[in-house]
Chain A
Amino acid sequence: MPNRIKGNRFDCIVIGGGHAGVEAAHAAAKIGAKTCLITIDKSKIAQMSCNPAIGGLGKGQIVREIDALGGLMGLAIDATGIQFRTLNRSKGEAVQSPRAQADRGKYAKWMQQALEQTENLTIIEAIATELITENNKVRAVSCKDGSVYQTETVVVTPGTFLGGMMYIGSDRWAGGRIDEPPSVELSQSLKRIGLELGRMATDTTPRLDAQTCDLDKLQEQSGDEPPMPFSFMTERIERPQVLCWITYTNEKIHELLRGNLHRAALSSGQMRGTDPRYCPSVEAKVVRFADKKQHRIFLEPEEDSIKTIYCNGIFTSMPKDVQEQMLRLLPGTENARIIHYAYAIEYDYCPPIQLKSNLETKKMSGLFLAGQINGTSGYEEAGGQGIIAGINAARKMQSKEPIVLGRDQAYIGVLIDDLLTKGIAGDPERGKERLGTLDEPYRMFTSRAEYRLSLRADNADRRLTQIGKSVGLVDQKRWMRFQNKLKNIDKLKSYLANTHSKGLSLWEQLRQPNNTTGQTLADSPYVKKMGFGRYVLQSVIIDAKYEGYLAKQKRLSAGFRTLENKKIPLDLDYKRIVHLRTEAKEKLSAFRPGTLAQASRISGITPADITVIRIYLKKYSVRTNKRQERSI
């Protein structure tokens, strides 16, 4: 029953109800834009198509950031998580990240309900087929059922659906996800309006019937006690946590895979995409790390009732019979029934150098892209872009300055900046032919953030709540709670600075390596009297630890900050800078960096090039000023 609201006007239309689309639609609507989410199937909104987990190294920080800005992901996982673990517990707080297994079904349901309750948001079940544009501006979206929706802005978040092609071994069919059709027309429409598209590929893992797995004999992995929530608004998680299990591949499995390499869709050359390095298929692992006798596999439940098992570590594009045999040989799954075979999927993406830092396309005003279409992988990366695209789409409609997070402000800032400047992925030998083409999905790592010590999971609230408030995403309840936390942090810090023992202030003691002051702080009479919660204590202890290092980090990055502030006009004609090397002209014309710092991060751009642009800009500004003087 297509919802025909022909000619209905919206401020913002979000196409696609995945993890990017959900955040984009929620943010835009909450800020005040009259928003519409177009999705093929309402019941599939926020579905976890791959790993039933949220967070992880680098990614957990992003979830905290989405939460601090006023997004949904943190709240959703807190409400539906079934096992919480903080990763890198043994390492410094700056590289610790929260991660949680979700009950897949409940997670999606929670999100669907949250969207239903969002004011200003209409959800429409339809297949968006075309963007209607006029004078390089988006005007409307038309759907397969013939309905047309007028709009000021569009956020496209199609995930793996654009031209989606699925593979199991040599079987191949068009699809966007298990049992779901791909979106073919929209791809064509994006091409027609002048966007360049590339192909990206990824593979998934088999899902098993938990009842048929022999889990008892396997090594168990339990969650943290107490579980650490993601959202600033969640005080504690009291649900009982489920177990995960660990098993290992063996020589027999490796032999089987080696013997069938030619049958895998990804490595047989049948697909155009390449096997990602970061999350390689099990067959790629076996080939690449030939001397390893075993690889670790996590068997993760997908529901709190433990009905299905996700085999984390068996990403594969092998045919069904090989998948069967492999599981027969894997301890714990010898008799397992496969509910869904692992499949590989190849889809269209839009090389992200075509974007501005607000995630709007350079070509088409009002058109924003977020998530896998920009070449990323992961729910968190998608959500992070989604919320920024949603905010900026709404702000565009309201004629407000876009929100652009800096590399020193947020992992989301690092992510978007990387997409804009590192169009050519890590390995320079690959993907050379086409300028600015990612050759494998972008995934977040903590090492991508040069300001890692200040971009922590524990301080995401202090980094971004203010911004969330200023754009109108953070509600009063969160804001009051946040103010209260800040006040308590201040109080505790001044108490620590003014209380001395053994000749040192408590604050100074906290700064010492391996001090025990932090552990005893919770029991101090003052802290008890004031009733500071564990998060206030945690913030203060971590701040103390990193205080000295942050000064160092600041000193080390001083040079970059000056460049960050030097803006380059987006319409700068690099060809006219006679003195720029040809290669630099080409690269810069393709990337169109927004600041000198971004320009300096583009591979192949030398400091000498930056100097040349800098001198040119100096002249340029002198000229512009003179012109302005004259016109006055």
Chain B
Amino acid sequence: MYELNDTIVAVSSPTSGQRAIVRMTGPDTVDKVSQIFISSIPRDRPCLISGNVAVAAGLKIDAKLYLFLAPHSYTGETLAEIHIHTNPRVTEALVGGLLAKGLRMAGPGEFTARSYLNGKIDLAQAEAVNEIIVSSNKFQLAAAEKLLAGRLAQTTAKVRAEIMDCLSLIEAGLDFSQEDIEFITTCEAIERLAEIKGRLEQLLSGSISYESVIDLPAVGIAGVPNAGKSSLLNKLLGRARSIVSEQRKTTRDVLAGLLTLDHCQCVLFDCAGLMSEPNNILDELAQQAAIEALQNSSVVVFCVDISKADWAEDISIRELIEGPRSAGTQARVLIPVASKSDLLSEDLLIKRIAELKELFGAEFIATSAKTGAGVELLRETIDGKTIELALGPAAEPAALLFSETSGNGVALTARHKQAVTEAIENIGESINELKADNDEVTAMMLRAAYQTLSNIEQQHIDEQILENIFKHFCIGK
């Protein structure tokens, strides 16, 4: 459910390339472009202008501006494109600047969504759009639960629940003041809200730009359902687990985090359990997402539950994990790992490891997410394999694979950052209003914070739908 009357912006070019197109559409397009584009822009006709664009104070770069006026544009609204040759970080800064000026980050497919809602696409196409919405609608319900557990949404959902809790108590104080009950003292409310705010701030300050991790090597954790993948991932990432929110094309619909090793950094992700024969459409969709994600990873941790004795299913999905061995594609490096070692006695463990070696023809690293056994060895192995893959077997381990940002944080897209920042501001204001005894205003700000955060979760669903639509549709971008 997108707002259709504001002005949206998005980068619509590959993040890794040197050329970037920043596209915006909506009623304020010309106004906002005029604020950053250093040449005068005619307001009455479409045009192509070469000039400079101000990225930040003191930073100007060459740019080309294409301006299309409503209704003669792809979206049917005034639309501008700024073409620049630069690196992703400058593009990010440019978009950041536009967001600060009041534009909203577009969701995927939102340009095309406007296009059909403005009647630029004909009925047959709209019909087809509907068709796709259905399938994603069914997909959305269970798939969202199944696939997306552990993502940013989970963090925000928790914070949201706490906001709701506080809000209810404050509201009760307003609506039931005649009862002889003190629902929450101002002090207590301030304390709780400050804590909530702190958590969001931590999320934000620890966050790294999503764009900065997109080029890092990807390491997948794969296996059958309940093989212990998620626990292993959490263990590897440590307490301050980082969640990469929605990385399109790479780790979509998978739980992922930034793993900092001795010699490199990589994006570690875990995907839905693989099955040789999915039970239903939802499993199938989950499976597809998982396989897609694996295709982008150079190293795969193949996770097998050693506490069970029957590995038939594990064997049958091995091929899915290794991928087709066609010519020209680089073979994935597999790191076989036996999980849940803590459930077995020493003797049995040794025996089972040997059995696995016989079955799969590879040496398994015995690990336990519970006790931490074998996890250090796994880290070292991942580190080694990744470096080896990137630099060749003889290379000296170097800091080459570190991105500019370091530390373990949540990777947030610009849009998510915008939402979290807004929620922090709202909660900050709610605390001030509470101090000034304006409980009714406090309540309003808390509602806003709640809404903003639920938008992160909600938008994701909407996004999936629209993304799906326009993936199938292939109109524009």
Interface residues in chain A, defined as those with a beta carbon under 8 Å from any beta carbon in chain B = 56-58, 87-88, 90-92, 94-95, 295-296, 445-447, 450, 452-453, 513-514, 549, 552-553, 556, 558-559, 562, 578-579, 581, 600, 606-612, 614-616, 618-619, 622-623
Tell me the complex Cα distance, A95–B174, Å: 7
Is there an interface contact between B436 and A453, defined as CB atoms closer than 8 Å?
no
Q: Which of B3, B177, B180, B440 has the most CB of A within 10 A?
A: B440
Alpha-carbon gap, A453 to B138, bound state (A): 39
Q: Tell me if B177 and A87 are in contact (CB < 8 A).
A: yes
Contact of B126 with A611 in the complex, beta carbons under 8 Å: no
- Given the known interface contacts A92-B440, A607-B461, the answer about A562 and B3 at a Cβ–Cβ threshold of 8 Å is yes
Contact between chains at B439 and A95 (CB < 8 Å): yes
The B176-217 residues at the A interface (CB cut-off 8 A) are 176-180
Could you say which of B119, B130, B179, B440 contacts A94, with CB atoms under 8 Å apart?
A: B440
Given contacts A559-B3, A611-B1, contact A95 B440 (CB under 8 A): yes
For the complex, give the distance between the alpha carbons of A607 and B140 in Å: 12
Distance in angstroms from A101 CB to nearest chain B CB is 14
Bound together, the chains give a CA A556 to CA B3 distance in angstroms of 12
- Decide yes or no: A612 and B133 within 8 Å by CB, A453-B441, A556-B448 being known contacts: yes
8 Å CB interface, B134-187 against A: 134, 136-138, 140, 171, 174-180
**Which A residues touch B116, using CB under 8 A?**
615, 618
Whether A562 and B465, one on each chain, are in contact in the complex, defined by CB atoms closer than 8 angstroms, is: no
A158 to B353, CA, bound (A): 79
Alpha-carbon distance A87/B176, docked complex (angstroms) = 10
Closest partner residue, chain A, to B135 (CB atom): A579
Whether A92 pairs with B451 at a CB distance below 8 angstroms is no
Partner of A447 from the list B5, B175, B462 (CB cut-off 8 Å) is B175
Q: A556-B448, A619-B123 are in contact. Are A608 and B180 (CB under 8 A)?
A: no
B437 close to A (CB within 8 Å): yes
A91-B439, A94-B440, A579-B131 known; A622 vs B119 contact (CB < 8 Å): yes
Rounded to whole angstroms, the CA-CA distance of A514 and B436 in the bound complex is 8
Candidates A57, A445, A514, A552; contact of B444 at CB < 8 Å: A552
Min Cβ gap A244→B in Å is: 12
**B458 is an interface residue with CB less than 8 A from chain A:** yes
- Partner among A296, A513, A552, A616 whose Cβ is within 8 Å of the Cβ of B180: A296
B134, B138, B175, B177 pick with most chain A CB within 10 angstroms? B175
Identify A614's interface contact among B117, B119, B448, B458, CB under 8 A: B117
Which 4 A-B pairs give the minimum distances between C-beta atoms? Answer: A607-B1, A579-B134, A447-B171, A445-B175
Tell me, yes or no, whether B438 is within 8 Å of chain A by CB.
Answer: yes
Query: In the complex the two chains form, is B134's CB within 8 Å of A618's CB?
Result: no
Chain A at the B interface: mostly helix, strand, loop or mixed?
A: helix
User: Complex Cα distance A550/B179, Å?
Assistant: 29
| B447 within 8 Å of A (CB atoms) | yes
Q: Is B443 an interface residue (CB 8 A)?
A: yes
Pair A450/B447 contact, Cβ less than 8 Å: yes
- B residues contacting the other copy or chain, number (CB 8 A): 43
Query: Can you name the residue of chain A whose Cβ is closest to the Cβ of B4?
Result: A562
B5: chain A residues within 8 A (beta carbon): 562
Q: Which one of B129, B178, B465 lies within 8 Å of A87 (CB-CB)?
A: B178
Give 10 pairs: A residue, B residue, CB < 8 Å, sorted on A: A57-B175, A91-B437, A92-B437, A92-B438, A445-B175, A453-B441, A611-B462, A615-B133, A618-B117, A622-B119
- Contact of A618 (CB < 8 Å), options: B126, B438, B440: B126
Q: Which A residues are CB-close (under 8 A) to B436?
A: 513-514
- The CA of A456 and the CA of B229, in the complex, are separated in Å by 55
Tell me if A612 and B437 are in contact (CB < 8 A): no
**Proximity string of chain B (29-63) to chain A, C-beta cutoff 8 Å, 1 when within and 0 when not:** 00000000000000000000000000000000000
Given A562-B4, A610-B1, 14 more pairs with CB closer than 8 A:
A88-B174, A91-B174, A95-B439, A295-B180, A452-B440, A513-B436, A552-B445, A578-B130, A608-B461, A611-B465, A612-B133, A616-B130, A618-B116, A622-B119
Residues on the B chain within 8 Å of A445, using CB? 171, 175
Q: Which residues on the B side are within 8 Å of A94 (C-beta)?
A: 440
- Give Cα distance in the complex from A87 to B441, angstroms: 18
A295 to B137 alpha-carbon distance, docked (Å): 50
Chain B residues whose CB sits within 8 angstroms of the CB of A88 once the complex forms: 174, 177
Residue on A with the closest CB to B436? A513
Known contacts A88-B174, A92-B441, A608-B462; A581 and B1 CB within 8 A of each other: no
Q: Which of B64-101 contact A (CB under 8 A)?
A: none
Do A92 and B137 touch (CB < 8 A)?
A: no
Given A610-B1, A611-B133, CB of A549 within 8 Å of CB of B441: yes
User: Are B444 and A549 within 8 A (Cβ)?
Assistant: yes
A610 proximity list for chain B (CB < 8 A): 1
CA–CA, A296 to B445, complex, Å?
32
Q: For B462, give its contact among A90, A600, A607 (CB under 8 Å).
A: A607
In the bound complex, residues from chain A placing their C-beta under 8 Å from that of B131 are: 579
Q: Which chain B positions have C-beta within 8 A of A58? A: 175
Q: Determine how close the nearest CB of chain A comes to the CB of B120; give it in whole angstroms.
A: 12
A606 neighbours in B (Cβ, 8 Å)? 461
Task: Please name the residue on chain A nearest to B180 by beta carbon.
Answer: A296
For A608, list chain B residues within 8 Å (CB). Answer: 1, 133, 136-137, 140, 461-462, 465
Residue of B nearest to A552 (CB): B444
Nearest residue in B to A556 (C-beta to C-beta)?
B448
- Closest chain A CB from B113 CB (angstroms): 8
Between A579, A581, A609, A623, the greatest number of chain B beta carbons within 10 A of the residue's beta carbon is seen for A579
Cβ contacts under 8 Å, B126 to chain A: 615, 618-619
Chain B residues, Cβ within 8 Å of A623: 123
Alpha-carbon distance between A295 and B178 when the two chains are bound, in angstroms = 12
User: For A92, what are the chain B residues with a Cβ–Cβ distance below 8 Å?
Assistant: 437-441
Q: How far is the CA of A88 from the CA of B171 in the complex (A)?
A: 12
CA distance A56 to B175 in the complex (A): 9
Residues of B within 8 A of A56 (CB): 178
Q: Which residue, of B1, B116, B437, B461, has the highest number of chain A Cβ atoms within 10 A?
A: B1
- A552 vs B176: C-alpha distance when bound (angstroms): 26
Q: Contact check: which of A87, A452, A556, A562 meets B451 at CB < 8 Å?
A: A556
* In the complex, chain A residues whose CB is within 8 Å of the CB of B443: 447, 452
Which A residues are CB-close (under 8 A) to B134? 578-579, 612
| In the complex, chain B residues whose CB is within 8 Å of the CB of A446 | 174-175, 440
* Distance of B117 from chain A, by nearest CB (Å): 6
Q: Closest residue of chain A to B168, judged by CB?
A: A447
* Separation of A57 and B445 alpha carbons in the complex (Å): 21
Contact partners of B178 in chain A: CB under 8 A: 56-57, 87
Contact of A581 among B137, B174, B175, B461 (CB under 8 A): B137
A residues near B171, Cβ cutoff 8 Å = 445, 447
CA A295 to CA B181, docked complex, whole Å: 10
A319 to B116: give the CA distance in the assembly, Å.
Answer: 66
Give Cα A579–Cα B140 distance, bound, in whole angstroms: 14
**Which A residues lie within 8 Å of B174 (CB)?**
57, 88, 91, 95, 446-447
CA distance A553 to B442 in the complex (A): 12
Q: Please report the C-alpha to C-alpha distance between residue A447 and residue B177 in the assembled complex, in whole angstroms.
A: 13
- Which of A95, A295, A296, A600 lies in contact with B1, CB distance below 8 A? A600
**Interface 1/0 per residue, B455-469 and A, CB below 8 Å:** 000100110010000
Q: Determine whether the beta carbon of B179 is less than 8 Å from that of A296.
A: yes
**Contact across chains for A558 and B137 when beta carbons are under 8 A apart:** no
Cα of A446 to Cα of B437 in the assembled complex, Å? 17
Residue on A nearest B131 in the bound complex, by CB: A579
Mark B1-30 against chain A: 1 for CB-CB distance below 8 A, else 0.
101110000000000000000000000000
- Using known A-B contacts A91-B439, A612-B137, determine if residue A57 contacts B177 with beta carbons closer than 8 Å: yes
Q: How far is the CA of A402 from the CA of B71 in the complex (A)?
A: 36
- Mark B384-398 against chain A: 1 for CB-CB distance below 8 A, else 0: 000000000000000
* B127: chain A residues within 8 A (beta carbon): 619
Interface bits B271-290 vs A (CB < 8 Å: 1, else 0): 00000000000000000000
